[in-house]
Amino acid sequence: MGGRARKISNVRCSTFLAAVAAVLCGCAQRTIPPDTIRLRLSGSPTTLDPAFIVDVSGGRIAAKLFNGLVKLNDKGEIVPDVAETWQVSDDGRTYTFKIRSGVRFSNGREVTARDAEFSLKRLLSPTVASPRGWILDYVAGAEDFADGRTDSVAGITVLDEHTMTIKLDSPFAPFPYLLTMPNAAIVPEEEVERWGADFGSHPAGTGPFSLADREQDVRLVLDANSGYYEGVPRVKHVEYIIIPEDLTAVVEFENQNLDVLEIPAAEVSHYVRSKRWGEFVVSRTGLNTYYLGYNCQKEPFNDVRVRQAVSRAIDTRKIAEKVLEGRVEPAAGPIPPGLVEAPPLTGDHNYDPQSAIALLKEAGLEDGFRTELMLSTGREELGVCEAIQSYLNEVRIEAALVPLEWSAFKKATASGEAPVFYTSWWADYPEAENFLFPTFHSSNWGAAGNRARFASNEVDRAIERTRGILDDDLRAREYRRIEKMIVDQSPWVFLWHRKEFYIRQPRVGGFKLFPVYSADKGTEMFLTP
């Protein structure tokens, strides 16, 4: 009897263990519903109210919930969105937009020109205090309205239900690009008034998707908008999962619990070389420029010869190849590839330590000097800066590395406290002006973008003049000329442009990389059975 009982007990025990193992074995495997594409966010979006979005996560989702007057395609070109056509006056100051018929908000109401007017005025309103009001700075009367001196924006006029004009103070060719930013999205007045400050939690737009579910700091689910004006998106649901840690996200991708993943830097070479995954990797050079900046107003970097010497002392190509393993494209100037059609610069600022020593001697610094190289804390940043430090040491420049926490680093570089610093500039919109005016115009010293405190009347005037040129070819050539002027002054060491690498599961089709994250509406992605 005892033997039989033990036998039964053993069988029960084995069955239980087998059941546990079966349950466990399935736990890491695919958990995505068949009609859903699951994507990763590294952090929760702060808000989904277009007027207040400044973070990447918010911008990515807003692109799917809202539309603007115009949008960007995957080549970075301006294409129609809610405005089906637009015309620019001969003087380049007045834009006339024709609003498309039949575009509806998620509450069912049709969009009119009044909604576009409301949304743009909201961005400028002093009571709303949007952080991105600056994108309409060029609109006539914007300043008066923003300062509360007038009740309306003189430059924004609704002609009829489907026509509106926006008049600028002076010609500004990149203006349509500013309208592609998520902050210029069209929102329904009645929903904004209904939810007030909580509109960001109840976003109502015209986009290809609508917010179906949200667990703060955990996930967001978007449902396809069956009435979307460009046709129903090819995938029914998009689910965003918040996964802060890169390695965990990689494991979730490998376990097929994520459909698309921006590949963390440490994993790029693994996926690119992988026989299994290589063909599913998608990459493009991002709209960014990494640079070593100086405070151009402080000694010794107020001497152009010293700045040029530093530029020639660093072998940026070797750092790009050895430290960053080819995840970047070496830069010849501030403007990333693809933004300007005119021939790119062929820099004469290549690695040349002997020339660097000669320039330092010419500047009276033949014995070298000591300085501080500030960087934000991060493994990659440290690796790059250690390499730079070693190159500078070869020309007798002793650069002490000062790693700072991100906020402290931003403050030190904005205030001019940092003599030398390693950082980057990322595009707000894909137009070369965005890599020249904020970063090198003397009105933008500090946090506005010109952290190097570079000042040149000639460059200032050239940028101001070029922004008003409507002829694309002529403007492109001018941008290159300005870029050359800046490179000659060496306010930065132009290091590289970072490439973006994404990987998709084989079942995901139609996945494309856009020049800016907030341009991807997710309408072309689909799932194969």
Partner 1 sequence: MRAYVIKRILLAIPTLWGITLVTFLLMKSIPGDPVIGMVGERADPEVIAQMRENLGLDRPLVVQYVRYMRLLCKGELGRSHYTNRPVAASIAEKFPNTLKLAGAAVIVAVLTGLTLGMVAAVRRDTWLDRLCSLSASLGIATPVFWLALILVMVFSYALGWLPASGMGGGLPVFLILPALSLGTRSAAYLARITRSSMLEVMTQDYLRTARAKGLPGWSVTLKHAARNALIPVITLAGLDFGSYLNGSVLTETIFGWNGLGRFAMEAIMKRDYPVILGTVLVGAAAFIVVNLVVDVSYAFIDPRVGSARR
Residues that bind partner 1 (CB under 8 A): 23-25, 27-29, 31, 43, 46-47, 54, 126, 129-134, 146-147, 197-198, 215-218, 241-245, 247-249, 251-252, 254-255, 257, 405-408, 410-411, 414, 428, 438, 447-449
Residue 192 Cβ vs partner 1, minimum distance, rounded to whole Å: 15
DSSP string, 415-478: HT--SEEEEEEE-SSSSGGGGTHHHH-GGGBGGGSBTT----HHHHHHHHHHTT---HHHHHHH
Token pair for 92: 């380049």
Nearest to partner 1 of 409, 422 (CB atom): 409
Residue 447 Cβ vs partner 1, minimum distance, rounded to whole Å: 4
Cα–Cα distance, 366 to 344 (Å, whole number): 34
Tokens 């070496």 belong to 330
Nearest to partner 1 of 21, 79 (CB atom): 21
Residue 458 Cβ vs partner 1, minimum distance, rounded to whole Å: 24
Cα–Cα distance, 405 to 179 (Å, whole number): 33
Tell which phi-psi region holds residue 510, choosing left (phi > 0), alpha (psi between -120 and 50) or beta: left
Nearest to partner 1 of 1, 27 (CB atom): 27
On the question of a cis peptide bond just before residue 300, with omega within 30 degrees of 0, the verdict is yes
Rounded alpha-carbon distances, angstroms, from residue 26 to 29, 151, 365: 5, 61, 67
Residue 406 Cβ vs partner 1, minimum distance, rounded to whole Å: 7
Tokens 């309205």 belong to 145
Nearest to partner 1 of 107, 255 (CB atom): 255
Instruction: Please report, as a single letter, which amino acid is at residue 134.
Output: W
Nearest to partner 1 of 215, 398 (CB atom): 215
Nearest to partner 1 of 254, 488 (CB atom): 254
Q: Strand pairing partners for 445?
A: 450
Nearest to partner 1 of 8, 218 (CB atom): 218
Cα–Cα distance, 212 to 43 (Å, whole number): 19
Nearest to partner 1 of 74, 254 (CB atom): 254
Nearest to partner 1 of 147, 458 (CB atom): 147
For residue 379, how many other CB atoms are within 10 A of its CB? 9
Tokens 């902050």 belong to 183
Residue 475 Cβ vs partner 1, minimum distance, rounded to whole Å: 22
For residue 304, how many other CB atoms are within 10 A of its CB? 15
Tokens 């709303």 belong to 128
Q: Give the DSSP H or E segment for 501.
A: strand 492-504
Whose CA is closest to 205, among 220, 179, 219, 223?
223
Residue 131 Cβ vs partner 1, minimum distance, rounded to whole Å: 3
Residue 27 Cβ vs partner 1, minimum distance, rounded to whole Å: 5
Instruction: Please report, as a single letter, which amino acid is at residue 305.
Output: R
Residue 474 Cβ vs partner 1, minimum distance, rounded to whole Å: 27
Half-sphere exposure of 309 (CA within 13 A, CB side): 27
Residue 267 Cβ vs partner 1, minimum distance, rounded to whole Å: 12
